[in-house]
Amino acid sequence: MLMKFVSDEDPMLAMLKWLCERLMEVEVETKLGAEKSERASSRQGYRSGYRVRRFETRMGTMYLMVPKIRNGGYIPFFVEAKKRSEAALMNVIQEAYVNGVS
């Protein structure tokens, strides 16, 4: 997986994009109570595809595939509503590093 990022034009931006998309997937799975395409009695909602959103960081601009939820909507925790914020994402990365999460 590391070789995939190293061969990219901007490896750090590619790793950050991958991390953001993984965090969004986990957050949506937790919110819905089921993984993508999983049939579960505990499911609390349904997915409705993705939307592309631009996210500005110090490392550059990323275009993220943000999951859509049918009812209720979804805004990633590291992006404030209608405002691009890098501070929240940096806090998450720092906290993960301090706690030893890889």
| pLDDT for position 85 | 60
Which residues lie closer than 8 Å to 73 by C-beta, 6 or more apart?
A: none
Confidence of residue 82 (pLDDT cuts 50, 70, 90): very low
Contact 57, 14 (CB under 8 A): no
- Is the per-residue pLDDT at 95 higher than 70? yes
| pLDDT for position 33 | 81
Distance separating alpha carbons of residues 70 and 41, to the nearest angstrom: 17
Which residues lie closer than 8 Å to 84 by C-beta, 6 or more apart?
A: 54, 55, 56
pLDDT in tens, 40-64: 777 888 888 899 999 888 888 999 9
CB atoms within 10 A of CB 68: 14
